[in-house]
Amino acid sequence: MSLPVVGTSAPGAVAEGAATAPTAAELLGFARQVAGDAGLVASLPLDPEGRTWLRLEGPGGSEAWLIGWPPGTGTGWHDHGGSHGAFAAAAGELTEQSLAAQLPTEGWKTLELADGVDRSRRLSDGRGRAFGPHHVHQVFNASEDRHAVSVHAYYPPLPLMRRYSRTGPLLRLEQIERAEEWA
């Protein structure tokens, strides 16, 4: 089990070098293992209004986070800047809405999505999912009264995140956040 780094910091900090690049399946195994560590999960301070996080040592130079989600909070639509990753629910339940289509990463501001690309899943009790480098999704805690906690791992460490807005079938690139902005 990897130990947490002391303190908290914004998601996006770069992890130190890796000997072997972990696969998405290995990242999912790590996320599930950490999600099962009741003591570590309980150590995360929870805020009633905003997400909280704790930076973890991920496998093979990956970056990892334990994240607390107050009721009604979420990420909005985003991608992971070309990194693959995984996440697992450690407490409560999270909903993930994702697109089952690979989007171009450059040269567009607005895309019209085809019918049938939307996917939705609910994750609780250590359930998780791995994803590839072109994954676009949003994650949220739909509960009205219960916090959720999850574990996330990414490799390579996130170089950037693209943030999107969505109105019906239209997806619009709104912002590109770079890792150095999170420090």
User: How far apart (Å, rounded) are the C-alpha atoms in residues 29 and 128?
Assistant: 9
* Count of C-beta atoms within a 10 Å radius of residue 133: 17
- Identify the structural domains of the chain with CATH numbers, from first to last: 24-177 (2.60.120.10)
φ, ψ (nearest 5 deg) of residue 30:
-60, -45
Confidence of residue 183 (pLDDT cuts 50, 70, 90): low
Give residue-wise pLDDT tens across range 132-170.
Answer: 999 999 999 999 999 999 999 999 999 999 999 999 999
Using CA atoms, how far apart are residues 57 and 10, in angstroms rounded to an integer?
14
Q: What is the pLDDT of residues 7-57, one digit of tens each?
A: 333 333 334 444 689 999 999 999 999 999 999 999 999 999 999 999 999
Rounded CA separation 179/51 (Å): 18
Distance CA(134)–CA(7), nearest Å, equals: 30
Task: Judge contact between 158 and 177, C-beta under 8 A.
Answer: no
The yes-or-no verdict on residue 68 having pLDDT over 60 is: yes
Q: What is the mean pLDDT of the chain?
A: 89
Whether the predicted pLDDT of 90 surpasses 50? yes
